[in-house]
Amino acid sequence: MSRGSEAAAKATEDSRFAFDAGKPPPFRIGDVRAAVPAHCWRKSPWRSLSYVARDVAVVGGLAVAAASLDSWAVWPLYWAAQGTMFWAFFVLGHDCGHGSFSDMAALNSVVGHLLHSFILVPYHGW
């Protein structure tokens, strides 16, 4: 290791120990928001609904696959895959609850209720 790389490694190590988690960060939430491109803040109900349709299609496909591949060796794989997709339902419903799914409150409420009802999770907790 050269002296320059040793010095850089030492400086990195020193700065890591100088971090104080009790102090506020050197930036504000507005700085973070300003760093995100404007198009990322636009809500598209069609794009959001396409995510719901995609996830519903995957869940349906997994259910069909599980019914046709009825084997004890395959069931644990199905449980993991289907559980992951149910988590996707939760995330989409959660986004509806926070209003980040679309700008239409009625659409957020209907989609959120449907998704969370399907996975037996209360919607109004969010």
pLDDT digits (tens, 9 = 90+) for 46-69: 999 999 999 999 999 999 999 999
Which residues of the chain are modeled with pLDDT < 50?
none
- Cα 93 from Cα 105, distance rounded (Å): 13
Residue 24 lies in a domain: yes
Helix (H) or strand (E) holding 126: none
Residue 38 lies in a domain: yes
Residue 78 lies in a domain: yes
Residue 125 lies in a domain: no
Residue 51 lies in a domain: yes
Q: Tell me which amino acid residue 71 is.
A: S
Residue 99 lies in a domain: yes
Q: Where are the alpha helices (DSSP H) in the chain?
A: 3-18, 29-35, 45-68, 75-98, 105-118
Residue 108 lies in a domain: yes
Number of separate domains in the chain: 1
Domain that holds residue 31: 3-118
The predicted structure's pLDDT at residue 99: 94
The predicted structure's pLDDT at residue 2: 61
Residue 36 lies in a domain: yes
